[in-house]
Amino acid sequence: MTESIKQKVQDQFGVAAADYATSDVHAKGESLGRLLALLNPQPAWQALDVATGAGHMALALAPHVARIVASDLTSEMLETTARLARERGLTNVELLRADAEHLPVEDASLDLVSCRLAFHHFPRPDVAAAEMARIVWPGGWLAFTDNVTVADRAAADYYNAYEKLRDPSHYRVDSQAEIVGRFERAGFEILASERLSKEFEFHGWADRQRVSPADKERLLDMMRRIPPVLEPLFAPRWTDGTMYFSLWELVLVGRKR
Ligand SMILES: C[S@@+](CC[C@H](N)C(=O)[O-])C[C@H]1O[C@@H](n2cnc3c(N)ncnc32)[C@H](O)[C@@H]1O
């Protein structure tokens, strides 16, 4: 399972890399600004962004730190990050092809480790969190975001089935308590947490992951039948011949104890 999900990640994101360069939720999402404001990054910092995708978090941090390593499992994503860094004239961004669960980085060697909108792809998220804690020194910073779901287990399973039908490389979105607990167990003290809500137009969201027409119908049908406890999260709206819905994103800032 662990290796097959990682192959699916590379299959899915390899073909979608260019779309992630321009995807609004990734390139302009509110969480980028919130993380920068909560973190207050410093010019001497050495940083690493885990699962950087098209590099939006790494490129937002780059002007504020000495050096940032943008790491990802998918080569095409790193090529996209490199192109965007060049276009923006950023010279302190380095690329590293690496699995989040096994980072080839020395212990306690960084001031900041970040990871935005990617943990739901990791089959062993506790291992990834422990890796992130290992590579920053005591007092070093954690900047994290990911989608988050409700605590009710059956509703959380329904939520995850919806996301997984759209993207087979989706592994699992957890509740806020599960995510915070994971980083606390890894050795971080969580200093700030915020939950954002972001809106999607259904077809744009599905097309970014090449969803077939038949699976789109299944997804729309799932949304018509959501459990009541997911109503406040998805908040589906049917208008203009399409469907709009929301996802929640958890933003965390922490420090290594
Ligand atoms: C939605 S994109 C990330 C978005 C990006 N961090 C941003 O802020 O725009 C998810 C990324 O996670 C990467 N990924 C998934 N599993 C991974 C793993 N085990 N190790 C490293 N990268 C992984 C994928 O290759 C993909 O580029």
**Domain presence at residue 49:** yes
Residue 179's closest CA among 147, 201, 206, 152? 147
**Quick one: pLDDT at residue 154?**
98
**Which tens digits make up the pLDDT trace of 43-64?**
999 999 999 999 999 999 999 9
- Cα(228) to ligand 1 centroid in Å equals 31
* Nearest alpha carbon, ligand 1 atom 27: 53
* Best residue for ligand 1 mutational test, from 2, 6, 12, 13 (most atoms within 8 Å of Cβ): 13
| DSSP conformational letter for 59 | H
Structural domain includes residue 229: no
Residues in the ligand 1 pocket, defined by CB under 6 Å = 6, 9, 13, 26, 51-54, 56-57, 72-74, 77, 99-101, 116-118, 121-122
Residue from 15, 28, 52 to probe ligand 1 pocket by mutation (most atoms less than 8 Å from CB) = 52
128 found inside a domain:
yes
Q: What is the DSSP letter of 209?
A: T
- What CATH number does the domain containing 55 carry? 3.40.50.150
Whether 1 shows a pLDDT value over 70: the answer reads: no
Q: 145 and 119 in contact (C-beta within 8 Å)?
A: no
Give 94-144 pLDDT, tens digit per residue.
999 999 999 999 999 999 999 999 999 999 999 999 999 999 999 999 999
Asked if the structure places residue 193 within a domain, the reply is yes
Q: Which residue has the higher pLDDT, 22 or 197?
A: 197
**Any domain includes 230:** no
- Dihedral, 239, 197, 50, 168 alpha carbons, nearest 10: -40
Quote the CA–CA distance of 22 and 17 in Å, as a whole number. Answer: 9
Residue 232 domain flag? no
State the residue range of the domain holding 145.
2-152+169-201+246-256
Residue 53 C-alpha to ligand 1 middle, in angstroms?
A: 5
Q: What are the C-alpha distances in Å from 32 to residues 29, 37, 114, 121?
A: 6, 9, 11, 19
Condensed to tens digits (0 to 9), the pLDDT of residues 175-186 reads 999 999 999 999
Residue 217, domain member (yes or no): no
Q: Is residue 129 part of a domain?
A: yes
Count of domains forming the chain: 1
Cβ-contact 151, 175 below 8 angstroms = yes
Q: Which of 3, 72, 198 is the best mutation target for the ligand 1 pocket, counting ligand atoms within 8 Å of the beta carbon and taking the most?
A: 72
CA distance 198 to 209: 18
CA angle 195, 45, 85 (to 5 degrees): 80
pLDDT digits (tens, 9 = 90+) for 189-236: 999 999 999 999 999 999 988 999 999 999 999 999 999 999 999 999
Residue scoring higher pLDDT (5 or 115): 115
Cα–Cα distance, 250 to 257 (Å, whole number): 21
- Return the half-sphere exposure (C-beta side, CA atoms, 13 A cut-off) of residue 64: 16
Total residues belonging to the chain: 257
pTM of the model: 0.95
CB 81 within 8 A of CB 59: yes
